[in-house]
Each structure stands twice: as C-alpha cells, then as structure tokens.
Structure 1
Amino acid sequence: MNMKIKSFLARPFASYIYKAIQKGMTTATADQEAIFKELLRVGSKTVFGTEHRLGEVKTYEEFVQAVPVRDYEQFSGYIQLIKEGRHNVLWKGQPIYFAKTSGTTSGIKYIPISKESISNHINTARNALLCYMASTGNTDFADGKMIFLSGSPELERVGGIPTGRLSGIVNHHVPGYLRTNQLPSYETNCIEDWETKLDKIVEETLLQDMRLISGIPPWVQMYFDRLTELKGMPIKDIFPNFSVLVHGGVNFEPYKNRLFDTIGKKVDTIETFPASEGFFAFQDSREEEGLLLNTNSGIFFEFIPASELGKENPRRLSLKDVTTGEHYALVVSNNAGLWAYSIGDMVRFTSVNPYRLVVTGRTKHFISAFGEHVIGEEVEYSLMKAAEEAGLHITEFTVAPMIQQEKGKSYHEWFVEFGNKPGDLAAFADKVDHNLREKNIYYDDLITGHILQPLKIRAIKKHGFIDYMKSVGKLGGQNKVPRLSNDRNLAVELEKYTE
C-alpha cells in the first residue's frame, strides 16, 4: 500500500481540479474581464500606469488606445529601470525573479515574474498532469520516477533580483511531495554543458523506474538515443512502466514518429504551451484537438489577425471576438507587469467553446521573400505528409529563401536531416512542393506564374543539426532550431553540414 500512496491520494485532488477547470471553460470571457480590471487597478499605480494613464482606462477599447503593442526591445527601457533598483515600475514592488531567455533578435531577455504571477507557472504544470489523471484514470506514474529535462536551476542576481532560466526557477517551487520522485539530481541539473549533463542524466536514470518524462522533443530524442545506444534495446524495455511523455516548446508532429519508434510503443502524451511570459495553455483532453487556453490565471489575452501584422496600428481582438481557423499573433498583459506584450507566437483556435488553440509558428519565422507568407504549420505539414507516405523519418529541418534573380528563378531551400534517406531526393522534394502548394495558395500562384521554381532539398548529414547547435553554443536546454527564416544566415552555416 505504501508504494501506491501517492497515486491513491492524487485521485480525489485530480478530480477536484478537473471539475474546477471544466467550470472555468464556461466562464472564460467573464474571467478575462475580471483579470483585465484587476490588472488595471494595480497597474495604474506604477510608472508604466502613470505614463499610459491606466487609471482613466475603463474599457478594452480605451486600453487599446492607451497602450500600444510592444515587443521586448520596446519594453526594455522599463526592465532597465527595474534592474537599477526602482520599485513599482511595471507592477507593484519589484519582481521576485527575472526569467532569462534567449531572444531571437535581442540577445538575452529578462522577463519579470512577480509574487502574483509565479503560481501561473507552477499550478498550470500541475493542472496539466491532474487533468490527464482525471480524464484517463492513469495515476500510476505518481508512484514512480519523473524526469524534467530543463535548464539549470542555478540563479544569479541581476539588480538584486534572482535571475535564471524559467525551468530552473520553477524547479525551486516543485512541491515537496514530488521532490522525492524527481530526477535528475540538483547537481546534475546545474551542469551547463548539455553533452556532459546528458551523460549524467543517463547514468542517474538508467536503473530507475522512470514513468513520466518531460522536455522539448529534440532533447528527449537525444536522451532516448543515448539510452538505446548504451543498452541496445528500445526504451519500453529499459523503462517498462514509462507511460507519459510531457512535451512543449515546439510542434510535436515532426518528432512524433521517431520518438515512438525509439520507445517501441505508443505512450500517452501531454502537450503544454509554457513561456517565460506565462504558461498559456495545456492539453486537457485526449479527444479534442488543441490546448485549453489558461483564461483564469492572471493573464489577459489579445489577438492580432495575421493579415494585420506589421501595420502601424493593427486591429486587436479580445477573447470574445476570436474565431476558429484564423491565424493570430498572441499578445499578453499579465500580473507581473507585461502590458500588451507581443510574445512572438502565432496561434489558431480549434474551438471557441471552450477556447482551445494550437501554436502555428512564430511571428518572425515565416518566409515571405515574394509575398507568399509561408508559416511553420504549413512547412511541417508538407514535409511530414510526404515523409509518412514514403515511410521516412525526419530528424530535424529548416527552410530558407534562395533569392537569385539574375541567375534564374528563386526558390525555397530546405535543409533536412533524414533518419532514413529517400532513394530519389528530387522526387521526394516534388511531393513536398506539391503538398505546400495545396496548403498555401500564394505559394501556388508564385510557382504557377513561374516567379518561383519548386523547392529544393539539401540533405544534412547525421547529427548535423546537433553539431551546428553545438558550434553556436546553443545545445540543450530550451534552445530550438527555427523552422523558417526570411534570410540566409542559418542556411549559410548549415551548408557546412550537408552531405
């Protein structure tokens, strides 16, 4: 009985939380309205609030007038004031942490986390697991070991404020009853070099009863590869009780088949959508597509239609006005002092009752060298469909424009690392091109009108992407290869790793 005590105790708690979440689905827009009012109440007494006259804002329309959408660069002046020791800059008092995250354009970003906002990060992760327990009845994983592949929990101080990676900060708040189940050890988690860390993680987990594994898919795959190379058997034989894989950070589809192959059986997966700016959504259902938006957790959401991106004053919608099928840029205001902050992710709602969405790409990661506006979701779909039909495994890939007006027509160049290569690469590229044309009408028009020539694929050698990430010091943690670029910077680097 003692062994089973945790799963036994988890049941009533899971069911209680699950019911609360289901009730929350019906009150989403009212909850958003209440959060909006509370943010304004506290925010009006800050430096930011005074500058933007938040005390006078009563309606969402007035808020849109008062507070422009900003990205990190446009926000960094306020962050600088906090670093200099000022209080009540963006939110009352000072942040209790800075989450340090690598920006795609801005170098390191320091995202404030307040005493009010920390629970959003901790409780949402917990709720995702409890929802899964309640909806499937699988509580057994609570009796075994769990691993969270994450950044280092070591914190430094910036302007007197403890600062580190979000996953590391959250590590300090893991509830006591889970600590005994959690691997790797604190010491191992603090290792900065990913390869060294991975070897230690393998060593620490190899003989344990691992039941839940969590991390970004490409890094989970590396962990699994190390284990299978060492033991010469699939993961299901190394960890017979492994039953739940928690993932987030990148689209799962491109990694799914290979992960399940390495495991040797299908396991349940729970998808999450966490970021330093907030834990936005998580998978609450086995049946429905999309992740449940976290509408009652200190975050007020806004959405900018994709067609409005880049305009001086883009149209902004609150939750009640979104529709399914549209692509939106996600904008958040939260109880850590972010105000109309564009986080750089594109989403699409799969349902508005309740509000469920999928992440479709990054606002900066699309190719529109010729007005085609191809997004992450489209390239992933096009490649995966072709790979599945051909029985191929894709390890990793990225796409860049090849612009050569004087030498003939331009095209999209795809860098793909295959698990097993197609016999005829050109024929495979045609398939991918065909899928993309079906998915994106602008792209189709450009090919039909002979403005672009069909895409080309360059095969990357085994471990090429890992070697590239290592060469730029971005191996491990929360680092991801961008799916798309509008320039050739990444492409030029990857040329060194082609076959």
Structure 2
Amino acid sequence: MNLKSLLAKPFAQYIHKQIKRNSSHALSDQEAILKQLLKTGRGTIFGKEHRFHEIQDHHGFQQAVPLRDYEAFKPFIEQIKEGKENVLWKGKPIYFAKTSGTTSGVKYIPITKDSIPNHINTARNALLCYMAETGNSAFAGGKMIFLSGSPVLERVGGIPTGRLSGIVNHHVPSYLRSNQLPGYETNCIEDWETKLDKIVDETIHKDMTLISGIPPWMQMYFDRLIEKSGKKVGDLFPNFSVMVQGGVNFEPYRAKLFESIGRKVDSIELFPASEGFFAFQDQQETEGLLLNTNSGIYYEFIPASEIFNENPTRLSLKDVKVGENYALVINSNAGLWGYNIGDTVKFLSTDPYRLIVSGRTKHFISAFGEHVIGEEVEYALLKAAAETGAHITEFTVAPMIEQGQGKSYHEWFVEFEKEPENFQDFIGKTEAYLRNKNVYYDDLIRGNILQTLQVRKVRKNGFIDYMRSVGKLGGQNKVPRLSNDRKLADALSTFIIDG
C-alpha cells in the first residue's frame, strides 16, 4: 500500500464520522441554512424584490418566493451577464456552468465562491465514506479516470463559463493530479469519438483502479477496451476495484457493465447536477443515496401529483414521507431561489434521509391521462428482463396515437445486448408489471382505450448512432427514458430491426 492510500484512511474515518453526525441533525441544519441564505440574500436585487428582510420562516418564504424554472430565472441571469453585481447572490458568480435545456436552449447556472465547495467536497466525501466503510483505500494509489468536459473555459459577461465537469477539473486536488487520467490535452478534445479513442490509448496499459462517468459512457469505453485488447476490463485492469457513476439510473446498465468487467467491483452512485451536488451513496449494502443536508442548499419538495398545479404544495424536509414521489426544489448559496431542477425523488428512509432519483418532471407519458413516469417503466422493464434472461443496452418509450379506428398504445424502443428467451413473454411481463405499478395505465388497458404496449427492437449501437446523428454523443448527454411526443420515436424508426 502506498503513502497516499495510508494517509487517506484516517482522513476517511474522520469525514465519515462527521457525515454521520450531520445526518442525525439534518432538520436543524436545514433550518439554519434557510436562515443564513435569507440573511445573505437580503442585500441582493432578488432579495430586495422579494422582501427577504420580512421573511421569518419557511411559510413566509413560500409566500414571498414563487417557484421558478430556468426560463423564469433568465432575466436575473441576463443582469449578471451584463455585469451587475449582487443580483442573485453577493458579488458575482465565479463561474457559469453551461448546460443544455430542452425548452430554454443553453442555460447558464451560477456557481459562487460559497457554492463551489458543495460540488468539490461532496464528490470527495463519497469516496471517503466508501474507504471508511470498506477499508479499501488501495485504489488511491493507482490511476483514476475523472472524465470531464473540456477544461478550456470561455467568458460570458466576464465570467469563466463551461461544462460543470470542465469547471470541476480545475479543482482536482494537487495530490490527485498525478493519478488523474486522461491528460489535459485529451480532455480538451471536443469530438466525443476522437476523445474516446485517445482515452483508450492513454489508459489501456495503465494500472486503472477507479473509473467514473455516466453508465452509457462507461459502457462505450469498456466496449472499445475489449475490442482493442480482446480482454475483459477486469482482466485488463487487475486492480480496478471502484466504479463511480451517476446522472442516470444505474440498474438498466448494471448487467452489461459487469459482464464487460467480468467480475464484481464496488460501485458508488452520485446525484450531481449543475445546480448542486444533492446526494451520494454512503453505504455499499444499503439502497439509496444520502441527502446532502448541510452543504449550502435548502430543499423543498412538491408531491408528484401536484407538479403541474398552479400553486402546488411545497414541503420542507421534515414533512416528506417514505415511498412518495416528489419534485425537487432548491434554494442555494449559488443564488437559486425556489428553483425546480426538473428531477423527481423518492425517499427510502427518513432516519437518515436516503432517496433515489425516480425520474424527470419533463420525462413522462400522459397522452391519455396515464401519467407514466420513468421509475415505473424502468421497474417494469428490468423485472421482465430478469425473468426472461434479457440484457438491456438502452431504451426509450413514447405514445403511439392512432387515428380513426386504430387503437393507441405505448411504443417501446429497446436495444438488447441479449434478447429474451421468449419475446412475447417478455412483452407480456413488461405490460403486467407496468399495469401493476400504474393504476391509470391499467384502467386504460381494461377500458380498451389503449392496447398492449409494443416493443421495437433497435439494432446494435442504434442509440449511439442516433445520438451521433443529433450531435449529442458522449459527455453527459443521455437518452430520455420517456417522451410525451413522437419526436425521438420517429427519429429512431430508421434504427429498428425486424423480427
């Protein structure tokens, strides 16, 4: 064991105890954060417009600050871009995290001097909790992939601007720089496939011990490694022991990723976003992610059934219930107030507060009032796959609305790594599990308004080719699980195979 691994152990134990301590007083921490946010925000343009000096508690905050998405925040962002100070938070942001929005085009999310530790320290804490729990610190002495967008930042309104992962790359601790792959020049490559080939060349002969990224990216990386070396990833990297992933639900990708590795490795799941780092897996054997309750973010939760209401209920952390789906709203020291980030979560426990990411508020199907969400389709597909021997590479679902006498249905586009033993049985089980999960969908089937779902087989690498065709291959880009229109489904029709 090298020096880095030895030194990491006592620090990991210290941080792990601190996090456990914080989780035991999450509610008081949240109250204190709200008070501090309001105190600092009073002097801002936003705070003055919303009379922060009069707010005494969460109820008063709800009355003063309406819910907003990015589109509603744009006027304030534009003021910052024009050079104004103290708009959403004191001073100016130190960065803009640039991200793509489906309705707002490019979004510029502020990151402040006060909020940057949330992004940096939470990723570190996830690894340290893992070390403390498992005793595995040996990976700290090997090579680690922290894939990022280009670290080259442009300036917007005088503020350094780029992808969050590229910004974070500038804050990798100096003691990890010698372990980090790929190199700076490779990370600066914009074309994804060129970049991926360079990453393979740089890493294939190294002692890789930790690999991080979103699951679709990791699978592409593994496929290229296997193609080039003829070996399973676990044989190629005998000391590879930790896989860090986030951005999408891991379960649909789990089987194929581990098959590519060829053996068991530990995995750590994260819940990061440009708006903040919200939760991370703190225990290997416990399902769910620990909510980051003491890191400059005050959370609110909207019951999923009220997401589209004009004035939905806004709950604080003390009011959430296990098993309920909520839209996540944040208020933070980045200057985001009543900000609906677009993700839905479901709590698995409240002591401590552990959750799963259950979907996206904009990713649903409700063409007939069924309001099917991501968690439900993933559950149905994975259960059916497990029972029919299928391995799933990627999938998406859209409504097919038939005109005239034809019956409408949900159309599933699925790329199989391994096809089910009985295709019709697979369809039947998927349908049954979805009906069991969603009573509205079940009613529509029973009422003969919808016919049984149909599954289209997408050819090998069909989703990759589609993402390439629309310029969204690689990086943090993800295929939506559900769409309430036919845009993605129609585009995928050219990638379907018969039989």
TM-score, normalising length: structure 1:
0.99
Q: Which one of 176, 192, 195 corresponds to residue 194 of structure 1?
A: 192
Cα deviation for residue 382 of structure 1 reads 0.7
Contact 2:388 2:425 in 1 (8 A): no
Q: Which one of 402, 405, 416 corresponds to residue 404 of structure 1?
A: 402
Contact 2:389 2:419 in 1 (8 A): no
Contact 2:388 2:421 in 1 (8 A): no
Cα deviation for residue 424 of structure 1 reads 4.5
- Alignment correspondent of 1:335: 333
Cα deviation for residue 459 of structure 1 reads 0.7
- Alignment correspondent of 2:281: 283
What letter matches 1:406 in structure 2? G
What letter matches 2:164 in structure 1? L
Q: Secondary structure at the match of 1:416?
A: strand
Q: CA RMSD in A?
A: 0.9
CA distances 1:23-69 after superposition (whole Å, capped 9, x unpaired) = 00111011001110010011111111111111111111000000011
1:381 aligns with 2:388: no
CA distances 1:208-258 after superposition (whole Å, capped 9, x unpaired) = 000000000000000000000111110111000000000000000000000
Q: Which one of 121, 132, 135 corresponds to residue 133 of structure 2?
A: 135
CA distance in 2, matches of 1:148, 1:17: 21
- Point out the more displaced range, 175-184 or 104-113: 104-113
- Point out the more displaced range, 420-429 or 103-112: 420-429
CA distance in 2, matches of 1:426, 1:493: 25
Contact 2:288 2:348 in 1 (8 A): yes
Pairing of 1:358-397 with structure 2 (within 5 A): 358-397=356-395
- Alignment correspondent of 1:212: 210
- Alignment correspondent of 1:431: 429
- Alignment correspondent of 1:54: 52
- Alignment correspondent of 2:447: 449
Unaligned runs of 5+ in 2: none
- Alignment correspondent of 1:474: 472
Q: Secondary structure at the match of 2:131?
A: helix
1:176 aligns with 2:159: no
Cα deviation for residue 152 of structure 1 reads 1.4
Cα deviation for residue 405 of structure 1 reads 4.2
CA distance in 2, matches of 1:298, 1:97: 17
- Alignment correspondent of 1:346: 344
CA distance in 2, matches of 1:410, 1:90: 47
- Percent of aligned pairs with the same amino acid: 71
- Alignment correspondent of 2:307: 309
1:486 aligns with 2:467: no
CA distance in 2, matches of 1:424, 1:268: 32
TM-score, normalising length: structure 2:
0.99
CA distance in 2, matches of 1:24, 1:454: 48
Q: Which one of 299, 321, 334 corresponds to residue 319 of structure 2?
A: 321
1:229 aligns with 2:227: yes
CA distance in 2, matches of 1:335, 1:25: 20
Contact 1:426 1:456 in 2 (8 A): no
CA distance in 2, matches of 1:388, 1:27: 39
Q: Secondary structure at the match of 1:202?
A: helix
- Point out the more displaced range, 443-452 or 11-20: 443-452
Q: Which one of 244, 251, 254 corresponds to residue 253 of structure 1?
A: 251
- Alignment correspondent of 1:160: 158
Q: Secondary structure at the match of 1:396?
A: strand
Contact 2:416 2:460 in 1 (8 A): yes
What letter matches 1:72 in structure 2? Y
Cα deviation for residue 448 of structure 1 reads 1.0
CA distance in 2, matches of 1:107, 1:497: 27
Cα deviation for residue 438 of structure 1 reads 1.3
CA distance in 1, matches of 2:403, 2:264: 47
Q: Secondary structure at the match of 2:68?
A: coil
Number of aligned residue pairs: give it.
Answer: 497
CA distances 1:254-305 after superposition (whole Å, capped 9, x unpaired) = 0000000000011100000000000000000112211000000000000000
CA distances 1:419-463 after superposition (whole Å, capped 9, x unpaired) = 122355333212211111111111111111111101000111111
Q: Secondary structure at the match of 2:359?
A: strand
- Alignment correspondent of 2:61: 63
CA distance in 1, matches of 2:428, 2:321: 34
Q: Secondary structure at the match of 1:329?
A: strand
Q: Secondary structure at the match of 2:19?
A: helix
Unaligned runs of 5+ in 1: none
CA distance in 2, matches of 1:26, 1:269: 25
- Alignment correspondent of 1:126: 124
Cα deviation for residue 416 of structure 1 reads 0.6
What letter matches 2:258 in structure 1? F
CA distance in 2, matches of 1:128, 1:7: 16
Cα deviation for residue 386 of structure 1 reads 1.0
CA distance in 2, matches of 1:351, 1:439: 20
Cα deviation for residue 370 of structure 1 reads 1.1
Contact 1:425 1:457 in 2 (8 A): no
CA distance in 2, matches of 1:433, 1:475: 31
